[in-house]
C-alpha cells in the first residue's frame, strides 16, 4: 500500500449547496452545421440531486437547436470534446446568450488501466474524528505513542475497511461547521474523501475499481440511512501521479441532508467497519446481491416516505418476505413447499427465529397496536404488522379497515417493521455466512 500518496484535488465547501466548478474556460459548441465560440462552465450542481451541469456563454446572433451537441474544451490538455444534452437557453438584447444542459455521457480523460488507486468524494455522510486503525510508534525519547497506521494525507478522522484483497480508506474533510449548517438548512455538502487500492499494491482497471466503489457507496448509504453518492472520481498510478479524471452524474440519486432517527450506529462508533466484510460477502454472492440491493433500497425509501405510512409499510413487508425466502431457502431451513405453505407472518417469524432476533412485544410503547392485537386476537407483532400491510393492499378484510389503518396503528406498525428489517440486515452481515 502507498503511504502519503496520492494527493488528489480536494473539494471544500463553506456553505451547503455551493456549486463545484470543474471547468471554466474557452470552449466551442459544435453541431453538424455550426460552431460557436464562447465560454464553457462545467459544475457539480446539487438540485434535484448531484448532477454535472453545463453552461455555455457566447455573444452574437448565431442560434443553435436544442439537441445533443459536442462541447470542445479548449483549455484542457489535451483538448477534449464532451457530449452534452441541451435543455434550455436565454437570449438577451445585448447579444449575450446562455445555453444550459447536462452531460449526455460520463467524460473520462486519461488512462482507465494500470490504476494503483481510485479517489472520490462522498456527500452528506457523518463527520468523525476517530479511527479504527492504530499502531504504536516510538518517539525520540523512547516512549510509545499512538499514531495512525494509515498516514494518507494525515487526516485525523478515518475509517479503514479491508476486504478480499482491497483496502478502503474513508476520511472526514475539515470543512469547518459544514455539517452543522447542513443540519440546520438541509441540502448537500461534500463531507468525505475515499481511496481504494489493492492490499498487495497490484494495478487494476477502472471497471474493477468501480465494482468496489459501487458496493462501498451502497453500504455507506445503508449506514447513513439516506442515499450518498461518489463524486469526482480520479485515478492514480503507483507513484501518486493522477492519470485519470472522470466527470459523471452519479448513478445513485443522492438525498438531501436528513437526520435519520433509526440508525444502527453513530459517527463515533467503528461498528460500521466490523459489519462491512459480511455485507461484501453477501454483495458478491449471486444469490444475495439483488436481494441485498432491494432490501437496502426499500429500507432507505421506507423511512423517506414521510407523507404516508402506507408506502413505508408495504416496502418493509416486501423486504422482510424477500429476505425470509432467500435466507431460509439458501440455508436449507425449509423446503419450497414448506415455505409456500406458511403465511407471510409465519415466513418472517421463521426468519427472525433463525437469525436469533427477539420479537417486540406490543407493550405500553405501542398502545394502539396492543389494543387492536387483543381485539383481533393477533398472536404477536409479526402478525400485527402483516395484517396492517394486508389492510393497505387488499380491497376487503374481515375487520373494520378504517380502524386498522388509524394513524396511530400505522405509525406503530412502521416503527416495529423498520426495527425488524434493520436488525435482519445487520444480523445477515454480522453472521458472515
pLDDT over 60 at 150, yes or no: no
Mean pLDDT to the nearest integer, 130-150: 53
Lowest mean pLDDT among 24-33, 143-152, 191-200: 143-152
Burial class (CB in 10 A: 0-12, 13-18, 19+), 106: middle
All three cell numbers of 282, joined, read 453477501
* Superfamily for the 20-107 domain: predicted glycosyltransferase like domains (2.40.10.220)
Q: Whole-angstrom Cα distance, residue 209 to residue 235?
A: 10
Q: Whole-angstrom Cα distance, residue 157 to residue 174?
A: 9
The pLDDT confidence band at residue 145, using thresholds 50, 70 and 90, is very low
Q: What are the backbone dihedrals phi and psi of residue 330, each rounded to the nearest 5 degrees, phi first?
A: -70, -25
| pLDDT, position 242 | 94
Percentage, residues of the chain above pLDDT 70: 89
Q: Whole-angstrom Cα distance, residue 140 to residue 418?
A: 53
- Range with the largest mean pLDDT of 31-40, 94-103, 263-272, 292-301: 292-301
Contact between 228 and 110 under an 8 Å Cβ cutoff? The reply is no
Query: By C-alpha distance, which of 356, 345, 364 is closest to 417?
Result: 345
Contact between 95 and 60 under an 8 Å Cβ cutoff? The reply is yes
All three cell numbers of 221, joined, read 448509504
Contact between 355 and 422 under an 8 Å Cβ cutoff? The reply is no
Mean pLDDT to the nearest integer, 257-283: 85
| pLDDT, position 61 | 81
All three cell numbers of 50, joined, read 448531484
Three-state DSSP class for residue 407: helix
Lowest mean pLDDT among 158-172, 197-211, 250-264, 365-379: 250-264
State the pTM of this model: 0.91
pLDDT over 50 at 137, yes or no: no
Q: Whole-angstrom Cα distance, residue 348 to residue 359?
A: 11
pLDDT over 90 at 112, yes or no: yes
Q: Say which residue, 154 or 210, is predicted with more confidence.
A: 210
Percentage, residues of the chain above pLDDT 90: 64
| pLDDT, position 270 | 83
Q: Whole-angstrom Cα distance, residue 157 to residue 170?
A: 8
pLDDT over 60 at 139, yes or no: no
Mean pLDDT to the nearest integer, 406-429: 94
| pLDDT, position 138 | 41
pLDDT over 70 at 90, yes or no: yes
Lowest mean pLDDT among 1-15, 41-55, 191-205, 253-267: 1-15
CA distances for 389 relative to 76, 261, 380, 393, angstroms? 56, 23, 15, 6
Query: By C-alpha distance, which of 318, 43, 407, 147 is closest to 56?
Result: 43
pLDDT over 70 at 58, yes or no: yes
pLDDT over 60 at 338, yes or no: yes
| pLDDT, position 396 | 64
The pLDDT confidence band at residue 151, using thresholds 50, 70 and 90, is low
pLDDT over 80 at 214, yes or no: yes
Query: By C-alpha distance, which of 20, 64, 75 is closest to 42?
Result: 20
Q: Whole-angstrom Cα distance, residue 352 to residue 320?
A: 10
pLDDT over 90 at 6, yes or no: no
| Residue intervals in the chain for CATH 2.40.10.220 | 20-107
Q: What average pLDDT is seen over the chain?
A: 88
- In this predicted model, what pLDDT tens digit does every residue of 344-371 receive, in sequence order? 999 999 999 999 999 999 888 999 999 9
Amino acid at each position: 500500500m502507498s503511504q502519503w500518496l496520492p494527493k488528489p484535488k480536494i473539494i471544500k465547501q463553506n456553505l451547503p449547496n455551493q456549486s463545484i466548478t470543474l471547468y471554466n474556460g474557452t470552449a466551442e459548441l459544435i453541431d453538424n452545421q455550426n460552431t460557436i465560440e464562447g465560454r464553457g462552465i462545467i459544475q457539480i450542481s446539487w438540485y434535484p440531486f448531484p448532477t454535472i451541469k453545463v453552461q455555455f456563454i457566447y455573444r452574437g446572433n448565431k442560434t443553435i437547436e436544442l439537441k445533443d451537441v459536442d462541447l470542445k474544451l479548449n483549455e484542457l490538455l489535451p483538448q477534449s470534446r464532451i457530449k452534452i444534452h441541451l435543455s434550455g437557453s436565454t437570449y438577451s438584447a445585448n447579444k449575450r446568450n446562455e445555453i444550459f444542459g447536462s452531460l449526455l455521457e460520463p467524460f473520462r480523460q486519461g488512462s482507465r488501466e494500470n490504476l494503483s488507486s481510485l479517489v472520490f468524494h462522498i456527500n452528506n455522510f457523518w463527520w468523525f474524528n476517530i479511527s479504527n486503525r492504530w499502531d504504536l510508534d516510538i518517539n525520540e525519547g523512547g516512549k510509545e505513542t499512538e499514531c495512525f497506521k494509515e498516514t494518507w494525507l494525515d487526516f485525523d478522522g478515518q475509517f479503514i475497511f479491508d476486504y478480499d484483497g482491497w483496502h478502503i480508506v474513508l476520511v472526514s474533510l475539515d470543512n469547518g461547521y459544514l455539517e452543522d449548517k447542513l443540519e440546520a438548512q438541509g441540502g448537500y455538502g461534500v463531507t468525505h474523501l475515499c481511496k481504494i487500492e489493492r492490499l498487495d499494491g497490484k494495478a487494476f482497471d477502472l471497471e474493477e475499481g468501480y465494482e468496489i466503489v459501487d458496493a462501498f457507496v451502497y453500504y455507506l448509504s445503508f449506514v447513513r440511512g439516506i442515499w450518498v453518492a461518489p463524486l469526482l472520481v480520479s485515478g492514480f498510478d503507483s507513484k501518486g501521479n493522477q492519470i485519470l479524471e472522470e466527470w459523471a452524474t452519479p448513478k445513485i440519486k443522492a438525498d438531501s441532508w436528513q437526520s435519520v432517527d433509526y440508525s444502527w450506529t453513530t459517527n463515533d462508533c467503528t461498528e460500521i467497519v466490523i459489519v462491512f466484510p459480511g455485507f461484501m460477502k453477501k454483495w458478491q454472492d449471486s444469490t444475495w446481491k439483488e436481494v441485498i440491493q432491494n432490501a437496502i433500497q426499500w429500507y432507505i425509501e421506507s423511512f423517506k416516505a414521510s407523507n404516508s405510512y402506507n408506502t413505508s409499510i408495504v416496502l418493509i413487508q416486501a423486504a422482510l418476505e424477500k429476505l425470509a425466502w432467500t435466507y431460509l431457502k439458501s440455508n436449507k431451513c425449509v423446503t419450497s413447499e414448506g415455505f409456500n405453505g406458511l403465511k407471510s407472518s409465519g415466513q418472517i417469524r421463521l426468519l427472525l427465529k433463525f437469525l436469533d432476533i427477539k420479537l417486540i412485544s406490543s407493550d405500553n410503547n405501542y398502545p394502539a397496536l396492543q389494543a387492536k392485537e387483543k381485539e383481533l386476537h393477533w398472536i404477536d407483532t409479526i402478525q400485527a404488522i402483516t395484517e396492517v400491510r394486508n389492510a393497505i393492499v387488499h380491497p376487503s378484510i374481515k375487520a373494520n379497515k378504517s380502524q386498522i389503518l388509524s394513524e396511530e396503528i400505522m405509525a406503530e406498525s412502521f416503527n416495529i417493521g423498520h426495527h425488524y428489517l434493520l436488525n435482519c440486515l445487520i444480523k445477515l452481515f454480522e453472521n458472515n455466512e
